[in-house]
A and B are shown apart, each in its own frame.
Chain A
Amino acid sequence: MKLWLAPLLAAAWLTPGAQAEESPPHPMRIVSLNMCVDSILIELVSHDRIAALSHYARDPQRSTIADAARHLPITYETAEEVVALRPDLVLTSRHSAIATRNALKRVGIRFELFGVPNSIEQSLAQVRQVAKLLGAEPEGEALVARIQAALDAARLPSNEQPLTAAVYQPGGLSAGANSVVGELMELTGLRNIAARYGVEQYRPLPLEVLVSSPPDVLLVGETSPGAPMQEEKIVHHRALRALESQMTQAVFPARLLYCAGPTMIPSVATLVQAREEALAAKRARSTQ
């Protein structure tokens, strides 16, 4: 099957420009199929080089670049849409649909896979990797420097005591050890109790654990106003409300949880704000 198609396709793909074989240093039609790569891509290249972002990029609940993405084309992750865009580089996740990746491979479209970074270091390496593929190394270095500056500014001042904290999102989802958000929490002076109770990456934190040792700060998700889902109810569980006097709840929107990269900048800002509020509340309690 493959044999009779190969010459046909080779002929077809070589006609528009022979550069398809040796990867062009400056891809001009870039398609991203992954939300986290979207957020890096949009920072690094001029938007006319972006042939399409993923459809998640427009979802304000999940994406930090929803406003910018509204003016850019998107795909729904089918090979058909990607092929029709004639991209010279496709950036996708290691966990994307296997059939779609195989289809792209067969048609001869170059794609690169990206994993989910488990640490700040891995995430910064990923930013550099994307920048290299795009031929945008200076922009990549600038972005890394910006992220690093934001991280440095967010560190806990040496005269302050660290607080305990946990992420508690709808469904009880938490960020534990080996997660970027967990590492960001430690960096901003919020000791992550979820990691101490054996939560790895992004998994549920048992409510009983949370109630038995309430953290100073509980980073709850943004509950969408109007229709509370069943899963969101757990965030407003009666057991948690009973602890309100002991811990400060701060809003940590779920969209900051999904991606690292440039998203770390608003993430640490939110964490710092939560820390400052909790410290103020603690001081107010102790003076009472």
Chain B
Amino acid sequence: MTSRRWAMPALLALVVVLAILSVAVGRVTLTWDMWKAQDPVSRAILIELRLPRAILGVLVGASLGLAGAAMQGYLRNALAEPGTLGVSAMAALGAVLSIFFNIAGLHPWVLPICGVIGGMTGMAALFALSGMTASVLSLVLSGIILSALAVAGISLALSLSPSPWAATEIVRWMLGGLTDRSFDELTIATPLIVVGCIAVLGCRRSLDALTLGETGARSLGIDLNRAQWQLALGIGLIVGGSTAVTGMIGFVGLIVPHLMRPLVGSRPGALLVPSAIAGAALVLAGDIVVRLLPGGSELQLGVVMSLVGAPFFFVLLHSMRRKLT
């Protein structure tokens, strides 16, 4: 099925170029001389501000792309995305509550840890709601219930916020972005995301078998129940970890698998790694655009993703429809 061999090396090269660009560009223009000089200011900007941002961009983008491809493969539905299970909304709720109760400023770790706790609570609730031998339908419905509940909680926190300024603070965080993230956030998110990615990648064979339908997969000796929980756990870890440090960055998990299908074919197992690479490229590119846009304050990455993602998705859908008819 790997129809185009050049695709993967080219994408990897793109990620490398974008990662270097991500360290090179920003609000402050650093010339090559300043890079070379042992200047504490430029070093702080490069190592403390831009490097973690670039690494986090790769990590979050890759894991969201991977999670999106896995979700679409597992549910056999092109509209599925990592947020479908409701874990990202719960992680956002956890982080928002830490801002609401004014504890987020106490220590840099408080907000992301509250986000992770929210995400984990969401996962536990997901398992409890859908039961151990859950069907796909009950899993998705539980996710939708969780999302609705979390969004309601966030709205409640916004409308009860002590002052308009506190509300702005919550909104700014919610919109999602990589601005000024540091190695602290990276330290919290990396283990979760890596474990999640390993769990999801371990489901490759099950995902491929599932293209034959559930009975087909069972007859191939796949333990569907186990695969389902492994996937849910992996995706929960990925989404919980990344939402806890970056806020909600939508569209990556939804759009990237669609982008990759024409290149690598639609076998779900083979789609996982290319989607991860493309996700990293997409988030890095978005984060660079955010910084290069002229004038005013930086836009939030989540906003740019949706602004670019929605029309792009439309074009994609349009061409797909033409192909099908």
Contacts and interface: CB of A to CB of B under 8 A. Distances in A.
Q: Do A and B bind each other?
A: yes
Interface in B35-71: 38, 40-41, 43-45, 47-50
B187 A1 contact: yes
A202 interface: yes
Interface stretch (B120-128, B149-157, B168-176, B309-317): B168-176
A116 B49 contact: no
Contacts of B183: 1-2, 5, 106
Interface stretch (B104-112, B193-201, B206-214): B104-112
Contacts of A80: 26-28, 45, 49-50, 180
Contacts of B49: 79-80, 83, 103, 107
B182 interface: yes
Interface string A176-187: 000000000000
B168 to A, nearest CB: 7
Given A1-B186, A95-B168, A98-B104, A81 B179 contact: no
B169 A76 contact: no
Interface in A167-201: 201
B45 A84 contact: yes
Contact of B297 (A76, A105, A201, A203): A76
Interface in A103-156: 103, 105-107, 113, 116
Interface in A235-256: none
Contacts of A96: 169
Contacts of B111: 98
Nearest to A107: B44
Given A76-B297, A83-B49, A98-B99, A116 B105 contact: no
A16 interface: yes
Contact of A97 (B41, B47, B164, B172): B172
A12 interface: yes
Contacts of A19: none
B296 A116 contact: no
A70 interface: no
B144 interface: no
A94 B162 CA distance: 13
B41 A100 contact: no
B173 A98 contact: yes
B32 interface: no
B interface residue count range (under 10 / 10 to 19 / 20 to 34 / 35 or more): 35 or more
A12 B165 contact: no
Contacts, number: 110
Contact of B41 (A86, A105, A106, A201): A86
A124 B259 CA distance: 58
Name which of A1, A5, A84 has the most chain B CB atoms within 10 A of its CB: A84
B182 A103 contact: yes
A264 B76 CA distance: 62
B47 A5 contact: yes
A78 B40 contact: no
Contacts of B140: none
Contact of A102 (B163, B164, B165, B184): B184
Nearest to A201: B163
Given A2-B183, A16-B40, A98 B105 contact: yes
B27 A105 contact: no
A41 to B, nearest CB: 19
A229 interface: no
Main DSSP-derived SS at the A contact region: helix
Contacts of A9: 40, 44, 48
Name which of B40, B162, B186, B298 has the most chain A CB atoms within 10 A of its CB: B40
Given A55-B296, A98-B105, A102-B184, A83 B41 contact: yes
Interface string A1-28: 1100100110011011000000000000
A84 B166 contact: no
Nearest to A14: B40
Contacts of B45: 80, 83-84
Name which of B105, B162, B169, B182 has the most chain A CB atoms within 10 A of its CB: B182
B41 A76 contact: no
A77 B104 CA distance: 19
A55 B297 contact: yes
B170 to A, nearest CB: 9
A103 B169 contact: no
Nearest to A203: B164
Name which of B44, B99, B169, B297 has the most chain A CB atoms within 10 A of its CB: B44
A94 B104 CA distance: 11
B40 A81 contact: no
Nearest to A113: B105
B181 A84 contact: no
A78 B163 contact: no
Nearest to B247: A99
A100 B43 contact: no
A275 interface: no
A93 interface: yes
Contacts of A83: 28, 41, 44-45, 48-49
| In the A-B complex, the 9 residue pairs with the closest CB atoms | A12-B40, A102-B108, A95-B165, A1-B183, A84-B28, A103-B180, A99-B180, A79-B180, A100-B180
16 contacts: A9-B48, A12-B38, A13-B40, A83-B44, A84-B45, A93-B165, A95-B168, A96-B169, A99-B179, A102-B184, A103-B48, A105-B108, A107-B48, A107-B49, A113-B105, A116-B165
Interface of B: 26-28, 38, 40-41, 43-45, 47-50, 99, 104-105, 108, 111, 162-166, 168-169, 172-173, 179-187, 296-298
